[in-house]
Amino acid sequence: MLLGENTPRISIKNEAEKRGRKKERSTAFFVKEEAQLFEFVLQKMGGMSRTAVKGLLTHQNITVNGNVVTQFDYALKKGDSVSVCFSKKENGLRHPKIKILYEDDYLIVVHKAEGLLSVATEKEEPTTAFRIIMNHMKKQNPKNRVYVVHRLDRETSGVLVFAKTKEVQEALQTYWHHDVLEKIYYAVVDGIMEEDKGTITSWLTESPKSKIVYASPTDNGGEKAILHYETIKRNNKYSLVKINLVTGKKNQIRVQLQSIGHPISGDKKYGSEHSPLGRIALHAAKLTLRHPATGQRISFESPIPENMKMNF
C-alpha cells in the first residue's frame, strides 16, 4: 500500500486508554462552514475574552476531530467537530531551560533554551533536554519513556521534538524528510546582508579529522543542501535573517551563511569574529509536520528571543 500525504504512520488504537488519560468535561461544536479555529471558538463561546480563548489554545484545551490543536489560524472545514475542555491541564514541568509547547499520547514538543544540550555527549553531561523530559515523564509514571527524534546544537534555542514510544520515534525518523513540511529559523549574522531575499544551494562535505563542514557551490559529490533566506533587519554591523530550511544537513545553516560571507554571529567555528549575544545567534522558531499517528498537519512555534531582535 502506498502511503499518502495524510496517511498515519502508526496505529492509533487505544493509546489514550493505555496511558490512563482521564475524561474531562467539554463542550462540542460542529462546523457548518469554513473558518479559522480562533475566530470560531471566540464566536461560539459568547462573552469569553480573546485572551481566554488564546489561553485555551495554548494550554491544549481545544481539540478538532479528537486531536489537540494549538494553532490560532487552523483551518476548519465543514463537518469538523471542535471540543473545548474547561479543566485546566497542568504538565507539572518547571525548568528555566525547558518549556513544554505540546504534548499528546505520542509526542512531547518543547522549547529548548540556549546553553543546553539536546542529548548527552561522550562527556555524559547530566543536564540535557532529554534527561529533563525523561525525569518529568517518570514522575508521572515510572514506566514512561522518551525517545530522541532530532537534535539542536547546545547554543541553538527553539523547537525540539521527542517521541513517547519507540514506534513513534522510528516513524518520525523514517519519514522525517517527507513529513516535516516547514522548518523556520532566525539568525543574527555578521555584516550587512546585501540581498533582501535569496536561495543558497550548496554541496556539503565534512572533514573526518576536524569535523568541520565545507560548502561547495558546485556538485562535488557531497550532500546537496538548500535554504531560502529573507533579511528582516539590518544595522551597521549585523543583520537579522529568517531562514526556511529546505533540507536538513549537519551544520547546514551555519556553513551556508558563512559561504556567502555572513557567518552567524558568535559562531567562531564557521568564521564569526563577533558575539553580541555571547552565543551562536541561531533560533529554531517553527516546525510543521504531519502527525505520525493521525496524519494531521501540526505546527509548533517558539518566539524569537528578545536578545536576537538586534536591539544593540
Euclidean distance between CA atoms 239 and 197, whole angstroms: 12
Euclidean distance between CA atoms 246 and 185, whole angstroms: 11
Lowest mean per-residue pLDDT among 42-51, 200-209, 265-274: 42-51
Instruction: Give me the mean pLDDT over the 72-93 stretch.
Output: 80
**pLDDT score of 24 more than 60:** no
Is 118 in contact with 112 (CB distance < 8 Å)? yes
| Amino acid identity for residue 212 in this structure | I
Q: What is the pLDDT of residue 299?
A: 86
Total-model pTM: 0.77
Lowest mean per-residue pLDDT among 27-31, 202-206, 236-240, 281-285: 27-31
Q: Strand locations in the chain, DSSP E? A: 26-30, 35-36, 62-64, 67-68, 75-76, 81-85, 98-103, 107-112, 147-148, 157-163, 180-190, 197-206, 213-216, 223-234, 238-245, 282-290, 297-301
- 4-18, 121-135, 271-285: which is most confident: 271-285
Lowest mean per-residue pLDDT among 6-10, 46-50, 203-207, 254-258: 6-10
How do residues 42-81 score in pLDDT, each as one tens digit? 988 877 788 888 888 887 789 898 788 888 899 999 999 9
Checking 139-148 for CB contacts under 8 A at 24+ apart, the result is 139/92, 140/92, 141/19, 146/108, 148/118, 148/119
> What percentage of the chain exceeds 70 in pLDDT?
89
Enumerate the domain spans of the chain: 22-85, 91-174, 184-284
The residue whose grid cell reads 533560533 is 283
Burial readout 281-309 (b: 16 or more C-beta within 10 A, e: otherwise): bbbbbbbbbbbbbbbbbbbbbbebbeebe
Under the banding of pLDDT at 50, 70 and 90, the label for residue 312 is low
**pLDDT score of 21 more than 70:** no
What's the burial of 188, exposed, middle or buried (CB within 10 Å: 0-12/13-18/19+)? buried
Euclidean distance between CA atoms 236 and 192, whole angstroms: 7
Euclidean distance between CA atoms 175 and 4, whole angstroms: 12
| Amino acid identity for residue 137 in this structure | M
**pLDDT score of 14 more than 80:** no
| Domain formed by 184-284, architecture | 2-Layer Sandwich (3.30)
**pLDDT score of 22 more than 70:** no
Is 28 in contact with 83 (CB distance < 8 Å)? yes
Average pLDDT, the chain: 88
**pLDDT score of 294 more than 70:** yes
The active-site residue, picked from 104, 153, 179, 196, is 153
What's the burial of 196, exposed, middle or buried (CB within 10 Å: 0-12/13-18/19+)? exposed
What's the maximum distance between 2 C-alpha atoms anywhere in the chain? 64
Under the banding of pLDDT at 50, 70 and 90, the label for residue 273 is very high
| Amino acid identity for residue 283 in this structure | H
Burial readout 84-121 (b: 16 or more C-beta within 10 A, e: otherwise): bbeeeeeeebebebbebbbbbbbbbbbbbbbebbbeee
Instruction: Give me the mean pLDDT over the 198-217 stretch.
Output: 96
Instruction: Give me the mean pLDDT over the 93-105 stretch.
Output: 88
Contacts with 145 (C-beta within 8 Å, 6 or more apart), sequence order: 134, 137, 164, 165, 166
The single-letter DSSP state of residue 61 is -
CATH H superfamily, domain 22-85: RNA-binding S4 domain (3.10.290.10)
Q: Is 153 a catalytic residue?
A: yes
Q: What is the pLDDT of residue 19?
A: 47
Instruction: Give me the mean pLDDT over the 8-21 stretch.
Output: 54
Contacts with 210 (C-beta within 8 Å, 6 or more apart), sequence order: none
**pLDDT score of 197 more than 50:** yes
Instruction: Give me the mean pLDDT over the 124-134 stretch.
Output: 87
Instruction: Give me the mean pLDDT over the 172-192 stretch.
Output: 95
Domains 22-85 and 91-174 share a fold: no
CATH H superfamily, domain 91-174: Pseudouridine synthase (3.30.2350.10)
